[in-house]
Chain A
Amino acid sequence: MITFERVTKRYPGGTVAVDELNLEIPDGQTMVFVGPSGCGKTTSLRMINRMIEATSGRILIDGKDVKEANPPLLRRGIGYVIQQAGLFPHRTILDNIATVPLLIGRSKADARKRAHELMDLVGLDAQLARRYPHQLSGGQQQRVGVARALAADPPILLMDEPFSAVDPIVRASLQDELLRLQAELHKTVVLVTHDIEEAIKVGDQVAIFRPGGKLVQVDSPQNLLAAPADGYVEDFLGFDRGIRRLSFLPAGTLDLDLNGVVGQETSAAAALAQAQRAGAAWLLVVDSERHPKGWAAAANLASAPGDTPLSGLPLTSTSGHGHTFRVDTDSLRAALDATVLSPTGQAAGLDGDGRVVGLTSYDRLKTAIAKADEQARAEEAASGIQPGASGAPSGEEVTAS
């Protein structure tokens, strides 16, 4: 547990970088500090390992004030990943990763063995061990940076804008990698970013800072998106927070439509009758295994010979026109996206074997979202927590959400 107690950083000349920060970071969780430049997020991070000294207040790690520790010794016990990796250009990848184990007095053979394990852990090809940093791509360098920070197995990992210097595709894969590592290692991670998308993707908790070094709100990504504490947070979250929030709601809550699904052996006349009964402009045609074959337009059914089976008619493909979604694993956001992209305004939800469970519609999405909101409100009421509580959160708030 890392605890900030009324921590302030004031520079000579009066600039306040961090203003009375109170915060608790529970063990094994990923806490993201996010905000625009000059909001004190990096300063707050660097005060944890005393790269920057606090002007007043205390920072405790497991109850011990960091001020009482010798800075180099303190830092050897805290992993640190810096923007642009900061690898030692004059050392091989393997020796870069072995840095901290060697510093804390492990034998060279031991440190290198550990470095090899870490290369494997972060997904680096063993052949890169003897290369030098400049021979690696930016993404590979950042993986080395993460491996190096983890080499001495520190319980805490500080990450200072770790992925901001790589291109968006590499960034996304590094973020996925961090989530995978964290699921395996359960470190206490503090990550600084200016990218709210990144914060929401990788954070268990997100702390939003405002210029002037003020912490505005700390909450889980779901709660932040659902209940921003004030206009500043709302602006910071952006205009699509309503849609992004759907990422946290499972598609399984959707009540899917079965009337618009028809077997491919059905005749055109019977299908047309089904479409008219359901009031549907389109029917989703499935094979005997209920795998989707394509869309049949009611208008086309009327002009086809009545006894032709649907399998003999030209259908509008479900692929190439948006996508389907998995009912069991995808979110409402995926379902909404599939619906928006579908030429019919409906999208097929599939089970794990690719069989059609049913169809979405905008009305059905609306109902599912309302249901999820109601459930969230009920849970909040049950746990007695105000939605969007801000400022100085208590430990309960942090752990309960």
Chain B
Amino acid sequence: MSWAFSNLSELGHLTGQNAYLALVPVLIGLAVSLPLGVLSVRYGWLYPPMLGVISILYALPALALFVALIAYTGLTDTTVMIPLAIYSLASIFPSVVDGLRAVPDPVRQAATAMGFGTWRRLITVELPIAIPVVIAGLRIAVVSSISLVSVGGLIGIGGLGYLFIDGEQRDFSTEIVVGIVLIVLLSLVSDVILVFIRRLLTPWQRATGAAELRQFRRRSASFGHAGGM
């Protein structure tokens, strides 16, 4: 513990680097998944081949990709971020497609019938309705990206992954445990932030929760009452 406190600024720097290396690729993955997802929903035949390619890329070992990319991008952040961005597609792309497909047909038809053009319908109706499913995919992508960054430690760009390698080489388990704890904390905080963003963007879902909660309270209140009799 005292080791952790005496190295706070170094740990803070590594955590920040880990967050940066993990989250930027997820944002890139989202930026790529949105247009690909929209295309796959419009032209359904595109979806299976696209998903196939993404799944194959996802199957490539991270370390192998890092090493292969060093030849092109050198020992830079980019070398770590490109594979992570590709991996994030595996959970974000299907969630964009599922989210858009979950828009009820009558809603889509009603929007068209009221005079929404294709783009306006996509941006003001379909994407907002897809948000909960897309964010569910983002949560998986963020957490796995945060833990995958540490593999980059093997090529010297790994955020908190540095602690594992350093700790292992020095036979100093405290450092490894602190690394694990910080990665878990970083994942938790990121996840909570995403849940918060979802609640902010989907007030209509909150209304469901509120209504269900009210109903639940009413029910449990009446149970309590019956019990008292």
Contacts and interface: CB of A to CB of B under 8 A. Distances in A.
B111 A82 contact: no
Interface in A288-314: none
A145 B106 CA distance: 11
Given A131-B207, A134-B204, A86 B115 contact: no
A87 interface: yes
A71 B128 CA distance: 24
A132 B112 contact: no
Interface residues of B, number: 20
Given A82-B106, A83-B106, A86-B110, A132 B207 contact: yes
A238 interface: no
A51 B110 CA distance: 10
Contacts of B204: 89-91, 132, 134
Interface in B119-138: 125, 128-129
Contact of B115 (A72, A135, A145): A72
Nearest to B108: A86
A72 B117 contact: yes
Contact of A86 (B106, B202, B208): B106
Contacts, number: 72
A286 interface: no
Contacts of B112: 51, 75
Given A89-B129, A135-B207, A135-B211, A100 B114 contact: yes
Contacts of B115: 71-76, 100, 103-104
A71 B111 CA distance: 12
A84 interface: yes
Interface in B72-131: 104, 106-107, 109-117, 125, 128-129
A175 B168 CA distance: 76
A29 interface: no
Interface string A45-73: 00001010000000000000000000111
Contact of A84 (B106, B111, B128): B106
Contact of A75 (B104, B107, B114): B114
B129 to A, nearest CB: 6
A88 B207 contact: no
A91 B107 CA distance: 12
B111 to A, nearest CB: 7
Contacts of B208: 132, 134-135
B164 to A, nearest CB: 43
A357 B106 CA distance: 52
Contacts of B129: 88-90
Interface string B144-157: 00000000000000
Interface in A346-386: none
Contacts of A86: 104, 106-107, 109-111
Interface in A78-134: 78, 80, 82-91, 99-100, 103-104, 131-132, 134
13 contacts: A71-B115, A72-B116, A73-B115, A74-B115, A82-B113, A86-B107, A89-B107, A90-B128, A90-B204, A100-B115, A134-B208, A135-B208, A145-B110
Given A49-B113, A86-B111, A134-B208, 7 more contacts: A72-B116, A85-B106, A86-B104, A86-B109, A87-B107, A88-B125, A145-B110
